[in-house]
C-alpha cells in the first residue's frame, strides 16, 4: 500500500535546471574548466553541488582541495540565492499534482539543493505547507546516486504522527524523479520510482518503475497498481 510520496525538487517541482547548468558552467570556469550542456545533463544531473565540484576535480585529474571546494560552493550558493529572490517557474502540472497527493499522503522532498533554497522557492510557489519533511544537501554527506537523502527523508517521515502506530516501510513509498541517477538513488532506498521525462528522454529513464512525459499524463491507477 502506498503511504508516502517523496519528490525530488529541481526539474520536478521547479524549473531550475537551466539556471543550475549556467551557474555550474560559470563555477567551473573559475577553475579554467568547461562543462557542456550535454555533459551536465549526462554526468551531473541529480548531483548536489558538492558532488558536482568533486566530480569536476576528479574528471580533470586534480586532487581535491577541500578549502577551494568550499569556496566554490559558497560562490555558487550566493549567486543562486540572489537570482531566485523573486522565485522560479514551477514545472507544468507540478503544483496541481502535489495538491492532489497532499490530500491523501504525507509528502516529503529529497533533494541535493540546500534547505534555504528549497524553503524559499516552495514558499514563493505557495507549496511549502504541503510538505511535512525536507531532506536536503545540508543533511547528507553523499550525493545522489547514493540513496542517503532518500533514507533521510524516510527516517523523518517515520517520525510523523501518521506512522506512530505502524512504522512506514520503504516499499510503501513512491519517489518522483527526473534524473537517471535520481532513479538509482530512490530505488537504492527501496522506493518505487515514477520518472518524469522533463529533463531527460524517456529512454534514459526506463529503469524507473513508471515513466510519464509530464504530470498531466500520470495515471493514478498505475501508481496504485505498483503497491498492490
pLDDT in the model for residue 143: 94
Q: How confident is the model at residue 109 (pLDDT cuts 50, 70, 90)?
A: very high
Q: Tens digits of per-residue pLDDT, 204-213?
A: 999 999 999 9
Q: How confident is the model at residue 48 (pLDDT cuts 50, 70, 90)?
A: very high
Cα separation of 89 and 170, whole Å?
31
Each domain of the chain, given as residue ranges in start order, spans 4-15+88-226, 17-86
Which set of grid coordinates corresponds to residue 170? Answer: 520503504
Domain 4-15+88-226 and domain 17-86, same fold? Reply is: no
CATH: 1.20.1660, 2.60.40, 3.30.1890, 1.10.150. Which one for 17-86?
1.10.150
Whose CA is closest to 178, among 162, 158, 199? 199
- Prior bond of 141 cis (ω within 30°): no
* Average pLDDT value for residue range 141-160: 97
Q: Tens digits of per-residue pLDDT, 188-205?
A: 999 999 999 989 999 999
Model pTM score: 0.95
CATH architecture of structural domain 4-15+88-226: 3-Layer(aba) Sandwich (3.40)
Q: How confident is the model at residue 21 (pLDDT cuts 50, 70, 90)?
A: very high
Q: Which residues contact 218 (CB under 8 A, 6 or more apart)?
A: 97, 194, 212
Radius of gyration of the chain (CA): 17
Residue 154 phi, psi dihedral angles, 5° rounding: -60, -45
Cα separation of 69 and 53, whole Å?
6
Q: Tens digits of per-residue pLDDT, 71-88?
A: 999 999 999 999 999 999
* Average pLDDT value for residue range 129-145: 96
Whose CA is closest to 32, among 65, 60, 67? 60
What is the chain's mean pLDDT, rounded? 96
Length of the chain: 228
Which set of grid coordinates corresponds to residue 91? Answer: 514545472
**Phi-psi category of residue 93: left, alpha or beta, with phi > 0 → left and psi -120 to 50 → alpha:** left
- Cβ atoms of 55 and 43 within 8 Å: the answer is yes
Amino acid at each position: 500500500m502506498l503511504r508516502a510520496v517523496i519528490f525530488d525538487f529541481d526539474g520536478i517541482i521547479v524549473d531550475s535546471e537551466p539556471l543550475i547548468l549556467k551557474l555550474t558552467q560559470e563555477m567551473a570556469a573559475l577553475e579554467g574548466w568547461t562543462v557542456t550542456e550535454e555533459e551536465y545533463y549526462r554526468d551531473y544531473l541529480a548531483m548536489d553541488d558538492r558532488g558536482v565540484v568533486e566530480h569536476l576535480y576528479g574528471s580533470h585529474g586534480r586532487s581535491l582541495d577541500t578549502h577551494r571546494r568550499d569556496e566554490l560552493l559558497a560562490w555558487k550558493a550566493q549567486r543562486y540565492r540572489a537570482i531566485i529572490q523573486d522565485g522560479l517557474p514551477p514545472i507544468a502540472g507540478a503544483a496541481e499534482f502535489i495538491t492532489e497527493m497532499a490530500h491523501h499522503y504525507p509528502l516529503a522532498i529529497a533533494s541535493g539543493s540546500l534547505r534555504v533554497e528549497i524553503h524559499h522557492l516552495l514558499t514563493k510557489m505557495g507549496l511549502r505547507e504541503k510538505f511535512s519533511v525536507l531532506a536536503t544537501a545540508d543533511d547528507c554527506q553523499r550525493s545522489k546516486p547514493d540513496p542517503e537523502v532518500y533514507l533521510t527523508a524516510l527516517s523523518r517521515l517515520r517520525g510523523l504522527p501518521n506512522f506512530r502506530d505502524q512504522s512506514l516501510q520503504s516499499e510503501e513509498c513512491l519517489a518522483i524523479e527526473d534524473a537517471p541517477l535520481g532513479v538509482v538513488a530512490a530505488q537504492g532506498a527501496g522506493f518505487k520510482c515514477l520518472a518524469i521525462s522533463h529533463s531527460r528522454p524517456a529512454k534514459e529513464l526506463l529503469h524507473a518503475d513508471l515513466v510519464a512525459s509530464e504530470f498531466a499524463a500520470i495515471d493514478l491507477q498505475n501508481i496504485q497498481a505498483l503497491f498492490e
